Amino acid sequence: MTAKVRPTWWLVAAAFGLIAIAPRAQGQEPVDLELVLAVDTSGSVDAQEFALQIHGIANAFRDAEVHAALSAVGSRGIAVTLVQWAGRRQQVVAVDWMIVKDERSASTFASRVATTGRWILGETAIADALAYSTQLFQANGFDAPRRTIDISGDGVTNSGIDPDVSRDAAVATGVTINGLAIVNETPDLDQYYRDHVVGGDGAFLMIAKNYQDFSDAIRRKLIDEIRGAPMSGMPAGIDLASRERLLRE
């Protein structure tokens, strides 16, 4: 059996165009957070599971606690987009960037998410999903002190390179990658996400036992991402395992 080759991350990052994000152009709109919600639509996700993910995200943006978190970060709000991803070169922006800063705009985003159909179906290429999501921060018209990719999935990579490569390249540009591991089919997926997917300043992982758990997990995760670690009571420099423990309590 041929050993899997792990290319040097900066060589692959260069191919993806992720070594550096271009300097921010003047005139970009300031927001508190730029957030990419990257949703798994690979073949392991059936139609019902896809619907549970989509409605879980939509319901999170209709939640009163999420609205309170938006109010707490100030009037600038957050810029958010929804990505669907599967195999190699299978990524698409399903809901384009928009500013969400209050109940009304959050409800508008929720409606756009709820009405998006399934665009793609394929294998599981997490590295490609991370690379694609990282590039979306370039020339999106916004300027934020925090840039976060929120990636959810129910399986390990089975196509393309290891996710570590894209993760490390993204983190090198100042991007934080948070994960939501759905462990119904792969019980140790949470450890895989810890080792290969999650990274960056204040990064954390949440676990959903199944797709029915997804809605509450994404809601709690979104609240923490909007507020940021200091506002949600997480000590500076806290390790990933401790953040997970505190989030569960």
Q: What's the rounded Cα separation, in Å, for the pair 181 and 197?
A: 10
pLDDT for position 27: 60
CB 196 within 8 A of CB 161: no
Structure tokens at 90: 């299978």
pLDDT for position 73: 86
Count of other CB atoms within 10 angstroms of residue 74: 10
Structure tokens at 159: 């196509």
Residue 148 C-alpha from the chain's centroid = 7
- Range list of β-strands (E), 41-115: 78-85, 91-100
Write down the CATH number for the domain with range 31-232.
Answer: 3.40.50.410
Least Cα distance to 225 among 94, 38, 26, 54 occurs for 38
Q: What's the rounded Cα separation, in Å, for the pair 190 and 93?
A: 26
pLDDT in tens, 93-102: 999 999 999 9
Q: What's the rounded Cα separation, in Å, for the pair 245 and 203?
A: 13
pLDDT for position 93: 97
- Partners of 34 in the beta sheet? 79, 147
> What predicted TM-score, i.e. pTM, was given to this entire model?
0.84
Reduce the secondary structure of 101-133 to three states and give it as a string: CCHHHHHHHHHHHHCCCCCCCCCCCHHHHHHHH
pLDDT for position 19: 43
pLDDT for position 99: 97
- Range list of β-strands (E), the chain: 29-30, 33-40, 78-85, 91-100, 142-143, 147-153, 175-182, 205-208
Measure the N-to-C terminal CA separation of the chain; round to a whole number of Å: 44
Low-confidence ranges of the chain (pLDDT < 70): 1-27, 229-249
Domain ranges of the chain: 31-232
Please state the length of the chain: 249
Least Cα distance to 150 among 85, 236, 231 occurs for 85
